[in-house]
Amino acid sequence: MANVTKGEPEGKAAKSTDAYERVRQLWDKVEDIMGKQIKPRVLVAGKTGVGKSSVLNALLGRLVFETGVIPTTKANSEELWESQAGSLVVVDVPGLGEADAAKMSDGYTYEENLARLAQLNAHLLLMILKCDDRALSVETDYLRRWSAHPILSTLPTLLVINQIDKMKPVREWNPASLNLATPRAEKERNIREYVDYVSGLEVFSPIHATGRVFPVAAGESHDDQNQFGVEALRQAIYDALPDAAKTMFARAVNLKDQEANRLTKYYSVAAAAVVAANFFPASDALIIAPIQIAMIVHLGKLWEMDITASAASGIFTSLGASFAGRFTVQTIVSFFPLIKNLVGPPLAYGLTFLMGKAVNELFRMGTTEASEEQLRKLAEKFEAEAKQQAEAWKRER
């Protein structure tokens, strides 16, 4: 934080102090995100036979949960299911079939068990139904109590209607041509009618209103070619998760490129923001360097590469040498405050975005090193996109 010296104009001193405070807060946020990457924690509710394991395997694209082995648990904290990649924690919600019981078999009342669930700090709930099941009294009663809970009611809830491929006529199943928006075939009309029926039930209406009802065919295996709706569900879960859990989930379900783009934009915004907040000329390059290094470390975590801060600094130096002309422009601009305040932030955004795209390409190839010629080609490949993104950010501001 800058000190106010004797004779310094009061307005200038206040502006200086405010600028450094904004820079500090932005960098604290970057450090906070870097230090709090967490595993997504998903509650899964559904009666036996709805295909909970099949849905989870389809989402992950690998056999992680043996079909039929996720039990209706009695002790939430003892029944955490984790993917082989260590990137997803699933808690099977207990007591779904005992919603009317005064006491569950482990001695807890239903409400007491809801309180125990709330302590797990989950990020969302997947409520899974079996297509064409009209006996939904257990699920509706469960969600009524759930929605009255002060903590659990705040969780995003995604309603998954599984096994739509088994809707009559059973043998007619072509997921590639399935059209539920304007159904024409008998099977399409039957699926649409059931989705509308569920969506119209009072307890499910709020979920339907937020676009969180997903007709799905998880298939018989994790790589079943006859799956439907899995990508849409995967995307919805990603969108519903907090930022701190997105990287782990993207790593688990092969949304790495999408997450890399989000991270690149996030750090580009941070770089532009600190340049805009920086009161002192000639220091922009020093201020944005830690943000760009943090971005490299974060992208390394996404691609499951052990990138230390020291290694990230080395990658940063290599990129800096390759992009020397562009970084020189940033340095020159930073010497002229009036110009820097106009040009500096979008330039910082563009440079950081360009670096993020180049690093992501290297990590995708499984390497942290590249020749000068390869780096030059990467710069040429992404420079136009970086400029477009910087201009778009500038217009949004």
User: What are the start and end residues of each CATH 3.40.50.300 domain in the chain?
Assistant: 41-240
Amino acid identity for residue 41 in this structure: R
Express each pLDDT in 145-197 by its tens digit: 888 888 888 999 999 999 999 999 999 999 999 999 999 999 999 999 999 99
The predicted model scores a pTM of: 0.82
Q: Which CATH number fits domain 41-240: 3.40.50.300, 1.10.1740.10, 3.40.50.2300, 3.10.20.30?
A: 3.40.50.300
- Is-contact 4 17, C-beta < 8 A? yes
pLDDT band at 11 (very low <50, low <70, confident <90, very high): low
| Residue-averaged pLDDT of the chain | 80
Q: Tokens 């304007």 map to which residue?
A: 182
Peptide bond before 71: cis, by omega within 30 degrees of 0?
no
Strands (E), the chain: 41-45, 80-82, 89-92, 124-130, 157-162, 213-215
Express each pLDDT in 15-74 by its tens digit: 555 555 655 555 565 555 555 678 899 999 888 889 988 998 899 888 877 766 555 444
Cα–Cα distances (Å) from 77 to 86, 89, 145, 203, 376, in that order, read 17, 11, 21, 27, 52
List, as own/partner pairs, every contact residues 82-85 make where C-beta atoms lie below 8 angstroms and the sequence separation is at least 24, other chains included. Answer: 82/39, 83/252, 85/251, 85/252
Q: Report the alpha-carbon distance of residue 175 to residue 280 in Å, rounded.
A: 59
According to DSSP, the residues that pair with 62 across neighbouring strands are none
What letters, b where the CB count within 10 A reaches 16 and e where it falls short, cover 133-170? beebebbeebbeebeeeeebeebbbbbbbbbbbebeee
When mean pLDDT is compared across 85-99, 186-200, 237-251, 298-312, the lowest value belongs to: 85-99
Q: Distance between alpha carbon 282 and the CA centroid of its chain, in Å?
A: 36
Tokens of 116: 């125990």
Nearest by Cα to 161 from 191, 138, 193, 131: 131
In 165-242, which residue ranges form alpha helices assigned H by DSSP? 186-200, 205-209, 230-240
Q: Report the alpha-carbon distance of residue 373 to residue 376 in Å, rounded.
A: 5
- Residue 32: CB atoms within 10 A of its CB come to 10
Pairing of strands 89-92, 213-215: unpaired
Express each pLDDT in 259-313 by its tens digit: 999 999 999 999 888 888 776 655 667 778 888 888 998 999 899 888 877 788 8
